[in-house]
Amino acid sequence: MPAQHHHKPLIIICLLALLTAYTAAAAAPIPAPPSVAASGHLLIDFDSGQVLSEHNADQKLEPASLTKIMTAYVVLREIKAGNIKLDDHVLISKKAWLTPGSRMFIEVDKEVSVEQLLKGMIIQSGNDASVALAEHIAGSEETFANLMNTHAKRLGMLSSHFVNSTGLPDENHFTTPRDIIKVSEATIREFPEYYAWYAEPEYTFNSIKQHNRNRLLWRDKSVDGVKTGHTEAAGFCLVASAKRESMRLTSVVMGTDSEEARAKESLSLLNYGFRFFETHRLYDAGTTLNQTRVWKGAKESLAAGVEKSLYVTIPRNQYKNLTATMQIDPKQIAPISQGQSVGSINVSLADETVLTVPLVALEQIDEGGIWPTVRDTVLLWFE
């Protein structure tokens, strides 16, 4: 019977609902992305994951204070887990107080709340705040770096390694443009209420007001983050994210030669993406897209759909040329587990495949009793 299961043709079902057309005029050809004066860069759509421009996106580079995106992410995970609270008071160590570079000006042996330290790190890029938080959570900055690497691995940041919470130079401390966007997007997705702090233009602590170093917050109201970084070795770096209407793009430039350059190059990338592309949600996660026959199961019908909401990014004014086909293997034999692949969805633009994603079982189907098993075994012989 298994041989029959694998050699029968697939059912091809056209999803006509996807053919609803916009009345927009035909789109002009998409120009090449702008030239970016950086050691590495990446521009990506937040929802679809579509890369719109990249150069050296997988090259290991020094992140400087972009590191603090990961530091803040780990802190927020600890808050979510209930291990620490925003109003916890942190005793400032001499090491944190003496940490060189940018700072929020905390004082040794004073107590500062986790919330104040987070804002001082996110808005003011305080190295002292980063170390204080690391020590509060893990006992030492070195142990905290192990937590950073654990989360990096979980997020798929396989070309990154962190040895400190600040981004101060170390030959074993590195990331890539593609990796740093992963933790940036995880922050936006998992912690929207705290991500709002990345858009704060200034923060005052200890009667000292400091401005956010992300110049794009003043130049483009759609920009709401994320983080700047700079050391002599790393150059000037910036992860930027912006949302216009329902479309969010995230960019990173690493290794530019000035504060102005990192802002200019980032805005150039974002404007390019928003001007020439558009993103659409095609199907919601968990929505039944098809019912298919199940053999030898406790039920005869299986609901199939997508595990995650499906988005696609395409050139502007081309939605009317978008089509989708769904392929389902008709010989689905129980048991079938929820989330198991039962086919695929292929999305095409003008006959060119844009993406292919698994079609999965939305429910579990257990094996049936003796009668369904015997009956379907006989029926499959005739199939």
Q: How many domains does the chain have?
A: 2
14, pLDDT greater than 90 = no
Rg (CA), the chain: 25
CATH number at residue 193: 3.40.710.10
pLDDT at position 28? 61
pLDDT at position 7? 38
Query: Is there a single domain that holds both residue 76 and residue 198?
Result: yes
Query: Is there a single domain that holds both residue 350 and residue 299?
Result: yes
260 domain residue, yes or no: no
Query: Is there a single domain that holds both residue 172 and residue 70?
Result: yes
How far, rounded to the nearest angstrom, does the alpha carbon of residue 304 sit from its chain's CA centroid? Answer: 25
| Cβ proximity of 234 and 61 under 8 Å | yes
Query: Is there a single domain that holds both residue 58 and residue 190?
Result: yes
Query: Is there a single domain that holds both residue 71 and residue 115?
Result: yes
Reported residue count of the chain is 383
pLDDT at position 330? 81
- Model confidence at 226, pLDDT cuts 50, 70, 90, reads very high
371, pLDDT greater than 90 = no
312 domain residue, yes or no: yes
- Model confidence at 19, pLDDT cuts 50, 70, 90, reads very low
**Whole domain around residue 97: which residue ranges?**
52-221
For 67-132, give the secondary structure using H, E and C.
HHHHHHHHHHHHHHCCCCCCCCEEECCHHHHHCCCCCCCCCCCCEEEHHHHHHHHHCCCCHHHHHH
| Cβ proximity of 173 and 167 under 8 Å | yes
Count the alpha carbons within 13 Å of 298 in the hemisphere toward its beta carbon.
8
Query: Is there a single domain that holds both residue 57 and residue 191?
Result: yes
Count the alpha carbons within 13 Å of 349 in the hemisphere toward its beta carbon.
12
How far, rounded to the nearest angstrom, does the alpha carbon of residue 259 sit from its chain's CA centroid? Answer: 25
pTM of structure: 0.89
164 domain residue, yes or no: yes
Give the integer Cα–Cα distance in Å for 376 and 294.
Answer: 9
Query: Is there a single domain that holds both residue 7 and residue 87?
Result: no
273 domain residue, yes or no: no
Out of 48, 53, 68, 182, which one is annotated catalytic? 68
239 domain residue, yes or no: no
Least confident of 77-91, 268-282, 323-337: 323-337
271 domain residue, yes or no: no
Query: Is there a single domain that holds both residue 78 and residue 190?
Result: yes
Query: Is there a single domain that holds both residue 300 and residue 365?
Result: yes
81, pLDDT greater than 50 = yes
- Model confidence at 380, pLDDT cuts 50, 70, 90, reads confident
- Model confidence at 23, pLDDT cuts 50, 70, 90, reads very low
Residue in 322, 341, 319, 320 with CA at minimum distance from that of residue 332:
341
Query: Is there a single domain that holds both residue 10 and residue 97?
Result: no
118 domain residue, yes or no: yes
374 domain residue, yes or no: yes
- Model confidence at 88, pLDDT cuts 50, 70, 90, reads very high
Give the integer Cα–Cα distance in Å for 169 and 192.
Answer: 30
CATH number at residue 305: 2.60.410.10
Task: Show which of 221, 243, 274 is a domain's final residue.
Answer: 221
Say whether 68 is catalytic.
yes
Task: Show which of 194, 221, 248 is a domain's final residue.
Answer: 221
Q: Residue 150 class from Cβ within 10 Å (0-12 exposed, 13-18 middle, 19+ buried)?
A: exposed
Out of 39, 48, 53, 65, which one is annotated catalytic? 65
Query: Is there a single domain that holds both residue 68 and residue 216?
Result: yes
Query: Is there a single domain that holds both residue 17 and residue 67?
Result: no
Give the integer Cα–Cα distance in Å for 335 and 296.
Answer: 8
Task: Show which of 176, 192, 221 is a domain's final residue.
Answer: 221
**In this predicted model, what pLDDT tens digit does every residue of 285-337 receive, in sequence order?**
999 999 999 878 888 999 999 999 999 999 999 999 999 999 998 888 889 99
Q: What is the mean pLDDT of residues 35-58?
A: 98
